[in-house]
Amino acid sequence: MDFLEVALNEITSSLEEGNEVSLVGFGKFYLYEHAPRPVRNPKTQEEMVLKSYKSVKFKVSEKIKKHFKDLE
């Protein structure tokens, strides 16, 4: 296994356990739970409720934000 594959496996495992994963100077990965919400099927116009679900979010570090802001 190469380094990137091992790192991604560790990040995934940690997120599955409910932990945030911070990479100092880069950013952090965390789970976000979306609330249930009403939606409409565009084909049939049938209204339904989309169940709650989890997704992975990433927040970039201030150091990287500042770097790209300074490029302008």
Tell me if 13 sits within 8 A of 6, measured CB to CB: no
pLDDT over threshold 90, residue 62: yes
**Any idea where the domains of the chain sit in the sequence?**
3-70
Instruction: Report the CATH superfamily, name and number, of domain 3-70.
Output: IHF-like DNA-binding proteins (4.10.520.10)
Please write the tens of the pLDDT for every residue from 19-51: 999 999 999 999 999 999 999 999 999 999 999
Mean pLDDT, all residues of the chain? 94
What percentage of residues in the chain have a pLDDT greater than 90? 92
d(CA 52, CA 46): 19
Q: Which residues fall within 8 angstroms of residue 10, CB to CB, at 6 or more apart?
A: 21
What is the pTM for the complete model shown?
A: 0.74
Rounded CA separation 39/37 (Å) = 6
